[in-house]
């Protein structure tokens, strides 16, 4: 039952991101965000570069 709860939480947060059903909720988050070159590892930079033409100043502000 824990597996299904984790999968529902992941799908509600991440939508169609490639999830590993053999990993827990926490392990999937680690794999997606914190593993170098994980699927969402550089999402912050990609998001800011598409939203703002002068994204460097916004990124510097967020990094403070």
pLDDT reported for residue 13: 75
Number of domains comprising the chain: 1
* SS3 of the chain: CHHHHHHHHHHHHHCCCCCCCCCCHHHHHHHHHHCCCCCCCCHHHHHHHHHCCCHHHHHHHHCC
With a cut of 50, which residues of the chain have pLDDT below it? Answer: none
pTM of the model: 0.54
Provide the token pair at 29: 């988050």
pLDDT reported for residue 64: 62
pLDDT reported for residue 4: 77
Tell me the residue range of the domain where 30 lies: 2-62
pLDDT reported for residue 37: 80
Query: Would you tell me how many other CB atoms lie within 10 Å of the CB of residue 28?
Result: 24
């Amino acid at each position: 039952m824990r597996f299904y709860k984790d999968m529902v939480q992941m799908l509600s947060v991440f939508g169609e991101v490639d999830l590993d059903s053999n990993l827990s909720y926490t392990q999937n988050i680690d794999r997606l965000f914190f593993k170098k070159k994980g699927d969402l590892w550089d999402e912050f930079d990609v998001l800011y570069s598409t939203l703002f033409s002068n994204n460097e100043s916004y990124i510097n502000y967020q990094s403070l």
